Structure 1
Amino acid sequence: MKALIPVLLGLIVTGCASHLNAPGQPVPLPETNWTVEASVRYSPPDWPEPLYADIYRPQGAGPHPAVLTVHGGGWTNRSRADMTDIAETLAGHGFAVMNIDYRFTPDHRFPAQLQDLQQAMHWLHRQADDLDIDTGRVAGFGYSSGAHLVSLLALVAAEGGELDRPYGGPQTRLAAVVAGGTPSDLRKFGSGRLVEQLLGGTMAEVPARYAAASPVTHITDTAPPFFLYHGSWDGLVPVDHATDFQAALASEGVPTEMMILRWRGHIASFLTGQGAVDAGVQFLYRTLVPEAAEPVLAQP
């Protein structure tokens, strides 16, 4: 039985991936040391609630690409600590990271959470010189409700519509997105409790708000590249949120990659998704550092 355990684990963590960029050819990633400054306030003094972030700084010459990481929790709970492992992985490969908290429902309804992310992006731009980051190479990385928020941030900024005001603008644009377990179309949930808390009513009561809060409704051909990953057994956020989202992005010519994690639900895809995280980091490096992303050739 013990001899079967490595085989079973290998089957569990293997995803089925569809890539648009050099499938099966990893790129060499830098290995860097990093430092972290915890609990840095990023929200303005007059913001409804003080919000904090952990700031990871890779060592070495910059300017560095940067990643905004956003945790899940159904828009109601959890904390940035959930994204610590991902933030450390990114920092260890040369990315500066801003790992944030944001306001929760039901005390703060949508679009409060999106506006928090927009404020985080403005903070990054104000601190760019100190952090030694390239503001033209800032990506987003989120899981579950965090993936919903970074996806919405990226698409709203590219679209330039109503949700881009008054706190958005050019500084909130993302250059790439990695999104796992993404609730991409909130209309698919009907009137589930978490979505109703976020939006302040049922879909019958506020249908326009359900559409506006759904990333899939904001896709334009100016959207940044997306890497999506999702559990095939996800019962909380069914896998068609990923497959339909990718199809909608691709229909607008947006570069996309996707990895489906076999035999895993929503929580398991986060807890055992290191392979998808690694693939997402590869995607970010190829996208944000293309001049350095040469394929690793197999040794004879």
Structure 2
Amino acid sequence: MVFRAILPVSFLFFSIFGLFLSIWIVVTASTFTFYPLSVGAPELSPGLLLGNGAIALLALFIWQSQQKRLILVSLIITLVSLLLSVLPLWQLPATHQRFAAEMERSLGVQPEAIQLPNGRFPKGVLGKASLTFYESQPFSWQTFFTGIPLPPVRYDADIQFAAADGTSLKLDLYRPAQVGQHPTVVMIHGGAWQHGSSRDNASISRYLAGQGYTVVAITYRLAPRYRFPAQIDDVRSALEFIRQNAANYEIDLNRMAIMGRSAGAQLAMLAAYPTNTPIKTPNHPPFRAVVNYYGPVDLAKGYYDPPNPDPIDSKKTLNAFLGGTPNQFPVLYQAASPINFVRPNLPPTLLIYGGRDHIVEAKYGHFLSEQLQISGNIATFLEIPWAEHAFDTLPSGISNQLALYYTERFLAWTMKD
């Protein structure tokens, strides 16, 4: 009797908890404390869908309980949670179709037909063997539960590439198991220029190394102790180190891409796009491709037009990075904004943004993509409608699976022999 009395109350508790988690799929936290919920809920939505579905089925199973009113309330709450948690999966097919069309427009080839490293094609294309990743699909339930595949690779940590102002700057090196010269991806972490390290998103670096790339994950001096241009100076020091040690680290200097997330994407674009500024530019190798995950594009506009809500306090973040406001330091803001260096003959650029990003809004990435195309460059802009900033924090989440599906094809196309 006690169990039968407690059971409906338990279902009510779990249904409310499920709604609490699911509602962050459509609600953005106004403070950074709760922002991880806004980031994580859409990425975990397939799991939330199964969990909410299980609660609903069990509630129906015990419908004959004496406390039908509590069960009915639980069911209503759970149905709302189900509708919320199904949204990303419901949007996925149309988003995938739109992304495929955008990549075909920009690259002139269907993404499913792009030859991946080591001669691999998606399953069913040209009769080749199937992929070890998502085969021909951008989302896999198995990957969601077991994680992205991480084949054995060679890993070397903490290789010092520079010492600036007494700060030892180090990189991590991920190489395919097979010895030889490999196309290379330089990886730059994010963290609002104030946090992070070369080991951020290590699973993605390891995954790409398993796909046949040498991945060089670098770091840089952090704000507010070190302000711009210290960060881009450090990136360029890393690139010079890579150039000088390419043979030792099996790096093909003729097939290099640079990839960054958030602040790291801003630095990646500054490194790849030639600049006419007093900032020193070493003789680093040219890039075949730039991969920009939700990177800041125009820092002055970002200062004066912050998102709403603004969970990281954009003005405070930019003040820490650049030392003041755009009115105080207009030259620095201009030099730190990739949009100012758009011109012809830039490397092909892949831009992936979250449609619900409240740190770097997707409109800035879209504008940069338009300007790149107007200047005659190849630009592929992909906006994930349900995703927030830093969606790839969960490597097997729905957004990162989709983003990685197109990223690996973009890299394969741009770095082909």
Decide: shared fold, TM above 0.5: yes
Indicate conservation of the 8 Å contact 2:353/2:382, yes or no: yes
Structure 1 position 52 matched with structure 2 position 170 = yes
Once residues 24 and 37 of structure 1 are traced to their aligned partners in structure 2, the CA distance between those partners, rounded to angstroms, is: 32
Equivalent in the alignment of 1:296: none
Indicate conservation of the 8 Å contact 1:80/1:100, yes or no: yes
Structure 1 position 169 matched with structure 2 position 282 = yes
Once residues 117 and 93 of structure 1 are traced to their aligned partners in structure 2, the CA distance between those partners, rounded to angstroms, is: 24
Structure 1 position 185 matched with structure 2 position 282 = no
Structure 1 position 37 matched with structure 2 position 156 = yes
How far residue 202 of structure 1 moved from its aligned partner, in angstroms, is 0.6
Once residues 256 and 62 of structure 1 are traced to their aligned partners in structure 2, the CA distance between those partners, rounded to angstroms, is: 31
Equivalent in the alignment of 2:358: 235
Once residues 212 and 144 of structure 1 are traced to their aligned partners in structure 2, the CA distance between those partners, rounded to angstroms, is: 17
From 323, 328, 339, the equivalent of 1:200 is 323
Once residues 391 and 178 of structure 2 are traced to their aligned partners in structure 1, the CA distance between those partners, rounded to angstroms, is: 35
Task: Kindly provide the CA deviation profile for residues 36-93 of structure 1, in whole angstroms up to 9, marking residues without a partner as x.
Answer: 001111114x654101111011133632110110111100012222221220121011
The SS at the match of 1:266 is: coil
Once residues 276 and 8 of structure 1 are traced to their aligned partners in structure 2, the CA distance between those partners, rounded to angstroms, is: 18
Query: Across the two proteins, how many residue pairs are aligned to each other?
Result: 284
Which amino acid counterpart does residue 384 of structure 2 have in structure 1? L
How far residue 236 of structure 1 moved from its aligned partner, in angstroms, is 1.0
The SS at the match of 1:131 is: coil
Once residues 374 and 411 of structure 2 are traced to their aligned partners in structure 1, the CA distance between those partners, rounded to angstroms, is: 22
TM-score (norm: length of structure 1): 0.87
Indicate conservation of the 8 Å contact 1:221/1:253, yes or no: yes
Superposition RMSD in Å: 2.3
Which amino acid counterpart does residue 264 of structure 2 have in structure 1? G
Which amino acid counterpart does residue 252 of structure 1 have in structure 2? S
Q: 1:163 to 1:57 in 2, by over 3 A?
A: farther
Indicate conservation of the 8 Å contact 1:143/1:270, yes or no: no
How far residue 172 of structure 1 moved from its aligned partner, in angstroms, is 4.6
Matches within 5 A, 1:280-295: 280-289=407-416, 291=417
The SS at the match of 1:106 is: coil
How far residue 120 of structure 1 moved from its aligned partner, in angstroms, is 0.9
Equivalent in the alignment of 2:203: 85
Task: Kindly provide the CA deviation profile for residues 173-206 of structure 1, in whole angstroms up to 9, marking residues without a partner as x.
Answer: 3221111111011011226111111111111111
Indicate conservation of the 8 Å contact 2:88/2:386, yes or no: no
Unaligned residue ranges in structure 1 (runs of 5+): 292-300
Indicate conservation of the 8 Å contact 1:231/1:269, yes or no: no
Task: Kindly provide the CA deviation profile for residues 207-236 of structure 1, in whole angstroms up to 9, marking residues without a partner as x.
Answer: 121111100101121211100000011111
Q: 1:61 to 1:37 in 2, by over 3 A?
A: closer
Q: 1:267 to 1:61 in 2, by over 3 A?
A: closer
Task: Kindly provide the CA deviation profile for residues 243-298 of structure 1, in whole angstroms up to 9, marking residues without a partner as x.
Answer: 00101111111111121111121133553423212311210111011x4xxxxxxx
Matches within 5 A, 1:54-69: 54-60=172-178, 62-69=180-187
How far residue 162 of structure 1 moved from its aligned partner, in angstroms, is 2.5
Once residues 24 and 39 of structure 1 are traced to their aligned partners in structure 2, the CA distance between those partners, rounded to angstroms, is: 36
The SS at the match of 2:185 is: strand
Indicate conservation of the 8 Å contact 2:342/2:371, yes or no: yes
Structure 1 position 221 matched with structure 2 position 344 = yes
Once residues 206 and 92 of structure 2 are traced to their aligned partners in structure 1, the CA distance between those partners, rounded to angstroms, is: 20
Equivalent in the alignment of 1:111: 229
The SS at the match of 1:66 is: strand
Q: 1:251 to 1:212 in 2, by over 3 A?
A: same
Which amino acid counterpart does residue 49 of structure 1 have in structure 2? T
Unaligned residue ranges in structure 2 (runs of 5+): 1-48, 54-81, 119-150, 305-314
Equivalent in the alignment of 2:3: none
Indicate conservation of the 8 Å contact 1:196/1:202, yes or no: yes
Equivalent in the alignment of 1:297: none
From 352, 369, 372, the equivalent of 1:249 is 372
Q: 1:206 to 1:172 in 2, by over 3 A?
A: farther
Of the structure 1 ranges 172-181 and 65-74, higher mean CA displacement relative to structure 2 is found in: 172-181
Once residues 142 and 277 of structure 1 are traced to their aligned partners in structure 2, the CA distance between those partners, rounded to angstroms, is: 13
Indicate conservation of the 8 Å contact 1:69/1:83, yes or no: no
